[in-house]
Amino acid sequence: MNKFIFSLIALAALSPSGYAKRAFTIQDAYRTIGVGSLSLSADGKTLSFNVTTQDLKNHSSSTTIHLMPLSPKGTPTSTPMMDDKCSNAQWSADGKWIYYDATGTITDADGKEVKLPQVWRRHIASGKTEQVTDFPLGVSGAVLSPDGNLLAFATEVYPDLGADGKANAERRKKKTEGPVQGHIADKLLYRHWSDYADGRYSHVLVYDIAKHTYTDVTPGEFSAPTWGNTPGFAFSPDSKEICFISNHTDHPEANTNADLFVVPVTGGEAKCITADNEAWDGSPQYSPNGRYIAYRFQKVPGHESDRFRLALYNRATGEKTVLTEDIDNWVNDDFVWTPDSKSIYFGVQEHGLVPIFKVDIATGKHAKVLPDRAVSNFCVGTDGYLYYTYSTTGKPTALYRSKAGGKSEQQLSFFNQALEEEVDIRPSEAMWVEGADGAMIEVWVVKPHNFDPNKKYPLVVNVHGGPQMQWMDSFRADWQVYPGAGYVVAYPNPHGSTGYGQEFTTSISGDWGGKPYEDVIKVTEALAKLPYVDAERMGAMGWSYGGYFMNWLQGQKHPFKCLASMMGLYDLRSMWGATEELWFPNYDLKGQPWNSELYKKWSPSEYVANFKTPTLIITGERDYRVSYTQSLQYFSVLQTLGIPSRLIVFSNDGHWPSSLNSMPVYYNAHLEWFHTYLGGDPAPWDTHKMMNNEVDY
């Protein structure tokens, strides 16, 4: 390494007082403070945003809305709107109220007080707060109508009971507290993520604030919005109509044909406006002038990872216009109209970042207005500024603003400054390696705490899930906990990753163990040649598809001394019958187990004769995407073969373990495993004691 560059890195590891910063620990992951959910007041003079803190010792978190009066000069400061827990501010158009999410008290059928998520509001002038909704099932993804008279929200109801919250709550209570405990289903998609449907469907309800009435505007045995598309609905500017996403096909578990519908806010017959497209349509947003509905869509039926494009629907003519056909990467769902309805700002997944673009809807011309950042939230100010949050590998999320493509960027929030001054939060360096078919594979490398270029360190390669997603140059505890314990960490974007063109993304479908495997092996070989990497002490880890990839490595030739598989697939044929979103394996494995050879070809269970590598296995008992039985099968085989292995099953978790309850165990178990086989620093706690709740954090 160039001595000058090494000197700069060394200086970055010093606190402002000149003392060396200490290594990042598991506890530090829970000291980071999150910033998000940006919202501007109607006059553009005040910015609201969520600030989230975590308390590892008490396994709790708290989110509070902060308000920041804006001025073009100096650095604006923010203050909490109130001391209580609250989030997701929405400003009324007249500027008199802030509506927000908070816990509200409901009296159930037995006269007991129950706390559930509800919508509240705060009068800006007086500071008076009041609970607005009182729906007995709770409120999710609430949206305030432009005229301030209505709230639309999603909740799970029994279709025959619709908006009757009391009746829904009573039936659900009988279901969960009666003498018969179990589930019944007459069709597929009977469970999702970590919950059974039990005859309930997500519906959009409209609440009239003045009349105190609830109306189910999406009745029927279908979900609206569809899962994973929250809020998935929007009001028209005149507050008379709602556009929502729903899949009305007979087999929503086997296809991606979600469509956009419009319906009066008073209820009635819904009209489908995207029936001509048999692939996915969603993310509706009305233009401020009411002429258009902007939305995202895909072209390939059944392919949940086809390219997301941005389009316009002309409400008067029904004509559709694609705005981003020449952008060969995914458009994110948090796009923003300008107040004059002439332009849209949107984020694009690109080379491990999410830059912001602006498109002129009249000409279709677009330009990148904020490059080189992994933006997570943004909004457009009336003062000419773009307000946004982002992080880097070596810097937690903060709030910024800028004009002129980010060149005049100003940091506005400093909640993590004390942590950054105390702890060595390691940056990443990008490198490119030639992978399968000559494609260049991007990989980020994080060097360990107190890095010495003359020493050799153990390496951990982390393979992402999805599989169609991208690792980004953004803050993530995995990129800090392991370097803090003495490891080099590398995270590549192999074939199948987003951000490198749709052909690159789609190439993994039907080829799970092919080009991605070749990419990761070639990346690891290149990393092993780095002067500071110990080629004899390399391990690998992964989650979801990354967990599958660890299990695939187990049966293939690889250089790793140990593996760590989280929520991974082991036997693809049995996986098909247990997962809920069948469109995914149907497309990615080109059919079903009885008509596609790929379930056998790419199944780790077919290569048991080659198994030999010590493996840590972590899963969640309520994971309905990748059933925990996949991990049980895998563990049984490893144990029977006498291969060192450990199984951790989180009883209450699904595909994503609880951040505050289970993830500390996740980090610690990995450190124990890597310490045993790669020789890094010891884990801070005993994982068995953590699982027995005998550790004082």
3-class DSSP state for residue 512? coil
pLDDT digits (tens, 9 = 90+) for 608-640: 999 999 999 999 999 999 999 999 999 999 999
Give percent of the chain with pLDDT exceeding 90: 91
* Amino acid 10: pLDDT: 52
Mean pLDDT over 631-653 rounds to 98
* Amino acid 73: pLDDT: 83
Mean pLDDT over 500-517 rounds to 98
- Going by pLDDT thresholds of 50, 70 and 90, the confidence category of residue 481 is very high
- Is residue 113 scored above 90 in pLDDT? no
- Buried-exposed string 218-252: b where 16+ CB fall within 10 A, e elsewhere: bbeebbbbbbebebbbbbbbebebbbbbbbbeeeb
- Long-range (24+ apart) CB contacts under 8 A made by 636-642 are 637/570, 637/605, 637/608, 637/611, 638/611, 641/608, 641/611
Least confident interval from 17-21, 258-262, 659-663: 17-21
CA atoms within 13 A of residue 524's CA, in its CB half-sphere: 25
* Amino acid 227: pLDDT: 76
* Amino acid 229: pLDDT: 66
Q: In the chain, what are the helix, strand and coil shares in percent, each to the nearest 5?
A: 20, 35, 45
* Amino acid 683: pLDDT: 97
DSSP state of 652: T
Cis peptide before 467 (omega within 30 of 0): yes
- Is residue 1 scored above 70 in pLDDT? no
Q: Which residue has the tokens 């289970």?
A: 662
- Is residue 82 scored above 50 in pLDDT? yes
Least confident interval from 86-100, 222-236, 544-558, 616-630: 222-236
pLDDT digits (tens, 9 = 90+) for 180-216: 999 999 999 999 989 999 999 999 999 999 999 999 9
Angle between helices 515-528 and 545-554 (to 10 degrees): 80
* Amino acid 111: pLDDT: 75
- Is residue 7 scored above 70 in pLDDT? no
* Amino acid 630: pLDDT: 98
* Amino acid 2: pLDDT: 47
Tokens representing residue 328 in the block? 């060969």
* Amino acid 538: pLDDT: 98
- Is residue 19 scored above 80 in pLDDT? no
Give whole-number Cα distances, 307 to 52, 194, 334, 499, in Å: 32, 27, 16, 10
* Amino acid 13: pLDDT: 66
pLDDT digits (tens, 9 = 90+) for 330-365: 999 999 999 999 999 999 999 999 999 999 999 999
pLDDT digits (tens, 9 = 90+) for 531-574: 999 999 999 999 999 999 999 999 999 999 999 999 999 999 99
Give percent of the chain with pLDDT exceeding 70: 97
Contact between 427 and 479 under an 8 Å Cβ cutoff? The reply is no
Mean pLDDT over 155-172 rounds to 94
pLDDT digits (tens, 9 = 90+) for 286-320: 999 999 999 999 999 999 999 999 999 999 999 99
Q: How far apart are CA 193 and CA 191, in angstroms?
A: 7
Least confident interval from 87-101, 342-356, 402-416: 402-416
Mean pLDDT over 470-494 rounds to 97
- Is residue 11 scored above 70 in pLDDT? no
* Amino acid 480: pLDDT: 98
Mean pLDDT over 485-499 rounds to 98
Q: What is the DSSP string of 70-125?
A: --SSS----EES-SS--EEEEE-TTSSEEEEEEEEEEE-TTS-EEEEEEEEEEETT
Tokens representing residue 549 in the block? 């990839």
User: For residue 409, what is the enclosing H or E element?
Assistant: none
* Amino acid 332: pLDDT: 96
* Amino acid 110: pLDDT: 73
pLDDT digits (tens, 9 = 90+) for 273-285: 999 999 999 999 9
Q: What angle do CA 520, 526, 527 make, to 5 degrees?
A: 85
Rg of the chain taking only CA atoms, in angstroms: 26
* Amino acid 112: pLDDT: 82
- Going by pLDDT thresholds of 50, 70 and 90, the confidence category of residue 74 is confident
User: To the nearest whole number, what is the mean pLDDT of the chain?
Assistant: 95
18's torsion region: left (phi>0), alpha (psi -120 to 50) or beta?
left
- Going by pLDDT thresholds of 50, 70 and 90, the confidence category of residue 15 is low
pLDDT digits (tens, 9 = 90+) for 55-64: 999 999 999 9
Cis peptide before 136 (omega within 30 of 0): no
Q: How far apart are CA 145 and CA 234, in angstroms?
A: 8
pLDDT digits (tens, 9 = 90+) for 566-595: 999 999 999 999 999 999 999 999 999 999
- Is residue 17 scored above 70 in pLDDT? no
- Going by pLDDT thresholds of 50, 70 and 90, the confidence category of residue 6 is very low
* Amino acid 633: pLDDT: 98
Mean pLDDT over 126-145 rounds to 95
Q: How far apart are CA 518 and CA 497, in angstroms?
A: 14
Q: How far apart are CA 550 and CA 543, in angstroms?
A: 9
Cα 214 to its chain centre, rounded Å, is 31
Q: How far apart are CA 549 and CA 564, in angstroms?
A: 10
